[in-house]
């Protein structure tokens, strides 16, 4: 059995035949994504984003196009400008998302899932963040390992693009990949990536239940918020403030809870806005002009 036949049953591609878009760096994971999607009978258009961060990025784009030609996949190159400076990885990700088609498939693997949970744990995320990458048609390779995608490339005769920034220890994800996960494996004396990824699956199930409970609360009703379990109340408030255009941090949520419980009459939100309570109802007050 070849690698494509072996791995395809573990993928979660949408039903064929249908056109799909795929984010395509030219690396092993996204190259395997294209090969497997074609094997699944999908009509794939690959989208490569040239961030212009490295001098060789134009060469990487050319190599990505060559891989697409080898596979018989159209490659659309998007050129964006991301200037050097703080938060480079996050800004590059935002620029990439801005030009990729909605619902573009990615080549994230189980290893990426484990790394994402650990990164979010380091940043203090709750269950929603620790749920990590949601499985499904947008992320069809989440049950595969990096070894699997590399095997697909070898079998297809693909020489994938190697991004040298993946070795930089200035990027947290690289240190989680090359240092933290191997250390955890050494301590546990086993491959821990599947265990960490399984934790994300369990937390995602918990997250859905908590979301359903929070949806039963009117987050603008101070009395209802005060009466709810704090875990549910925080979730209801976070959803309301985020949907209102004011994504809160954990400290802001706690301040709103103080108002709900009568420990304060109003509180500040990020950006100079306030939440005030009037006749048991919360109101968002914009900054004074």
pTM: 0.87
Domain 3-109+144-167 CATH (choose: 3.40.50.2300, 3.40.50.620, 1.20.1260.10, 3.40.640.10): 3.40.50.620
Return phi, psi of residue 259, to 5°. -65, -40
Query: Domain boundaries in the chain?
Result: 3-109+144-167, 215-285
**pLDDT tens by residue, 83-136:** 777 777 778 788 888 899 999 999 999 999 999 999 999 988 888 899 999 999
The model's pLDDT over 224-270, given as tens digits with 9 standing for 90+, comes to: 999 999 999 999 999 999 998 888 888 999 999 999 999 999 999 88
Cα–Cα distance for residue pair 236/230, rounded to 1 Å: 10
Distance of alpha carbon 237 from alpha carbon 132, whole angstroms: 21
């Amino acid at each position: 059995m070849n690698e494509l036949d072996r791995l395809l049953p573990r993928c979660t591609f949408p039903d064929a035949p249908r056109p799909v878009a795929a984010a395509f760096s030219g690396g092993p994971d996204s190259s395997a994504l294209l090969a497997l999607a074609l094997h699944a009978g999908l009509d794939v258009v690959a989208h490569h984003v040239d961030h212009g961060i490295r001098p060789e990025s134009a060469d990487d784009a050319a190599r990505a196009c060559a891989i697409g030609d080898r596979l018989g996949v159209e490659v659309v190159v998007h050129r964006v400008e991301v200037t050097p400076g703080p938060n480079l990885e996050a800004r590059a990700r935002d620029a990439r998302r801005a030009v990729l088609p909605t619902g573009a498939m990615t080549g994230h693997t189980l290893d990426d899932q484990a790394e994402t949970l650990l990164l979010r744990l380091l940043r203090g995320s709750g269950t929603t963040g620790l749920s990590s990458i949601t499985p499904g048609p947008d992320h069809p390779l989440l049950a595969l390992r990096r070894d699997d995608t590399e095997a697909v490339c070898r079998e297809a005769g693909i020489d994938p693009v190697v991004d040298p920034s993946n070795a930089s220890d200035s990027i947290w994800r690289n240190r989680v990949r090359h240092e933290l996960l191997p250390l955890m494996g050494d301590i546990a004396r086993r491959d821990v990536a599947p265990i960490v990824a399984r934790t994300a699956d369990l937390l995602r199930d918990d997250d859905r239940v908590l979301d359903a409970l929070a949806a039963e609360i009117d987050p603008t009703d101070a009395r209802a918020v005060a009466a709810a379990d704090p875990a549910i109340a925080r979730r209801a408030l976070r959803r309301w403030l985020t949907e209102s255009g004011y994504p809160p941090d954990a400290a802001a949520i706690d301040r709103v809870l103080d108002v709900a419980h009568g420990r304060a009459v109003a509180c500040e939100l990020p950006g100079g806005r306030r939440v005030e309570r009037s006749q048991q109802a919360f109101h968002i007050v914009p900054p004074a002009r």
